[in-house]
Structure 1
């Protein structure tokens, strides 16, 4: 009997546990945000800036997700960065994930060891966390080896920028050493080592000799905005030195100015206003701001735009503009060129040449017809009058 009671109690406890777990499982099933990085645990040297590439997405609900950090060690700087700028939130929708960087800058006096923090993404009805682990190691110094010194290890530019780093490489040994130069760069980047303007892959060093090198990094393709790390290695026999360079690539607008159908010719009449439909598009990787519309017409012509300015044009966005063109009253029939320009505040301008075939005004045509009619009537009256005689 006692055994039966114990079994009954255990069964009741099991049922209560299952019932309590069911809502948690259902709640878990309702989650739709996901937040990850391919390399959540990294190693670096004391003094290095480390970048984690993060991906945030949703399976169901489009939403703006707030970003935050927890357990950041005192004195550390950690920021989320997208398109080269510090961000606090990201917009996600199904099949359109947001990718951005988490840049971590430990203080100069940080000690070697393992550090952990949490990246937090808070959506409309859900919060997800991503553990980040960073192991810092002491700089290895070899008084009788090779050493790098970089003037500016982090440079900023556009996808078309050639990043040039001034690097001093020193042979601190007492032996002559032939040194090979190697680079480890992200896919789509090219790295060149130069000495006195000449590309090199190796260079001889005498005892205690230093040489100033230029390391040139450029993107071979239109890479997305973000922070990219390039590792460089100098190796000579048993000696070697490594250091990291950072290319901070910001987005760049790229405007195109044309017509809706691509046709860049039309007709206009002397003294009359003609409307031309133009489209301004941004095919770049960053928004274009404060775009001014202008024209270079022949002398005596007037050109007005509606609108005259576009405050902001997002990536892949298209805006229609109307150009109201009026030829000079002194113009003669023929072909004329008018150059339209869309000039943003922070990027290169886009231009388009439009060819106008100028015709005489319809008013002069009506005047001509009226004069001919008057002449015909006059001739008829004269014939009638003199014909009677």
Structure 2
């Protein structure tokens, strides 16, 4: 009884499983039938590729069998760059065909190398692919020849860093000293070289861009004429002077002037930046009150005159000093002896103390005063009139009185006789 019950239960389970699995099996059948009877695919994994310069180009080639039956696929390289040896390899072995089971795929390597060049010593050397585009094509054919497919790829070889650095522009501007510094009233001259890097003689036109009000002119070196263009032989250069003049009233600071050169047969225009740093104008002036340049002095006694030092430039004057050219044994002093700073437009007062020699003869003498500033100087000439000292005046008066008294006494004595 128990055995019969187990048999019945087992039969029921098997029946249920059979009932449920039937549709699943039937559903699987159409997917197998959906596959084409025969189909192959030959394709490069990367049909567009960019690489750096090298002696070898490698491409991954995929061979796929989408059909219901296994296939043996024969492979041929139908297109490769001229002078190039191209092979299909797997693990170093050259492949001419491959077996691919139904629904499977294989990945092979297409390797291309340039033919070796012989050196002078007889040794062979691998050549690198030059920058450019290289096209490859591989054809796959089934063993019975009924199915074919072709894979195509384009490889772009770029330039190496060294080649990019070595590549020259058709025209170039160089300058040994592109930065100049000076006062606002200076004329600046840059020496630049215009290089024609082409294999043809050509005319180079010149132009400049400068701040408003600035003057820029071009002159051939060691010549006086101004130019706007010049002829340059192939693969040679010519020197040109670029004269730059700032406008009046330009502020202190750095200014950029850009010069350009273009060959008539080329579209490229070369440029070069030049820098001018204006430090301001350096002007200093000294004068006396009401421009009086004369004074009176007595031998051995100090005489004083005031001098005013003015900064007429746009740059500050620092460490202003004084010196003098005077008669022998004279003494000239300045108070203060130096001026640390005079700002543009400011004025400082200096006392000049002149002491003639005690034995100086009465008369007029010249004393030159020099004022030395930063990149500027000025001078003035003083006329010093030396008069007799009061001591000798009183001595003279005493002598005269003595003579008068003596004469009076003599007249009285002689008159009595």
TM category (shorter chain) comes to 0.5 to 0.7
Deviation at 1:359, TM superposition (A): 2.5
Alignment partner of 1:189 out of 190, 211, 214: 214
Q: Does 1:343 align with 2:368?
A: no
Relative distance call for 1:157 and 1:179 in structure 2 (3 A) is: same
- Contact persistence 2:296–2:384 (CA under 8 A): yes
Q: For each residue in 1:47-105, what CA deviation from the matched residue of structure 2 results, as whole angstroms up to 9, or x when unmatched?
A: xxxxxxxxxxxxxxxxxxxxxxxxxxxxxxxxxxxxxxxxxxxxxxxxxxxxxxxxxxx
Q: What is the deviation of 1:180?
A: 2.1
> Secondary structure of the equivalent of 2:310?
strand
Distance change in 2, residues 1:335/1:316 (3 Å): same
Please state if 1:242 is matched with 2:271. Answer: yes
Q: For 2:345 and 2:167, how far apart are their aligned partners in 1?
A: 52
Which consecutive residues of structure 1, in runs of 5 or more, have no partner in the other structure?
1-140
TM-score, structure 1 length as denominator? Answer: 0.58
Contact between 2:362 and 2:387, CA under 8 Å: does it hold in 1? yes
* Structure 1 pair 185–363 and aligned structure 2 pair: CA distance change class (3 A): farther
Deviations 1:30-49 (A, max 9, x none): xxxxxxxxxxxxxxxxxxxx
Indicate the larger mover: 359-368 or 288-297. Answer: 359-368
Shift of 1:143: 4.6
> 1:376 matched to which residue of 2?
404
Tell me whether 1:214 sits opposite 2:241 in the alignment. yes
TM-score (structure 2 length as normaliser): 0.55
Cα contact 2:183–2:282 (8 A) shared by 1: no
Asked if 1:306 is matched to 2:335, the reply is yes
SS in 2 for 1:298: coil
Tell me the matched-pair count. 248
Q: Distance in 2 between matches of 1:160 and 1:232?
A: 22
User: How far apart are the structure 2 equivalents of 1:270 and 1:182?
Assistant: 69
The answer (yes or no) to whether the contact 1:303–1:323 under 8 Å persists in 2 is yes
Residue 160 of structure 1: how far off its partner (Å): 3.2
Verify: 1:271 aligned to 2:300, yes or no.
yes
- Of 202, 213, 224, the match for 1:177: 202
Q: Please, which moves more after superposition, 276-285 or 252-261?
A: 252-261
- The answer to whether the 8 Å contact 1:333/1:360 transfers is yes
The structure 2 residue matched to 1:282, chosen from 311, 316, 319, is 311
Q: Please give the secondary structure, in 1, of the residue aligned with 2:348.
A: strand
Deviation, 1:278, is 0.7
Residue 338 of structure 1: how far off its partner (Å): 0.8
Measured after TM superposition, the shift of residue 226 of structure 1 is 0.9
CA distance in 2, matches of 1:239, 1:309: 58
Instruction: Determine which of 231, 253, 256 is the counterpart of 1:226.
Output: 253
Q: Give me the whole-angstrom Cα distance separating, in 2, the residues matched to 1:162 and 1:388.
A: 95
Alignment of 1:98-117 (within 5 A): none
The CA deviation at 1:232 is 1.1
CA offsets 1:329-350 (integer angstroms, 9 cap, x no match): 3333332211111223x32222
**How far off is 1:252 after superposition?**
4.1
2:290 alignment partner, SS class: coil
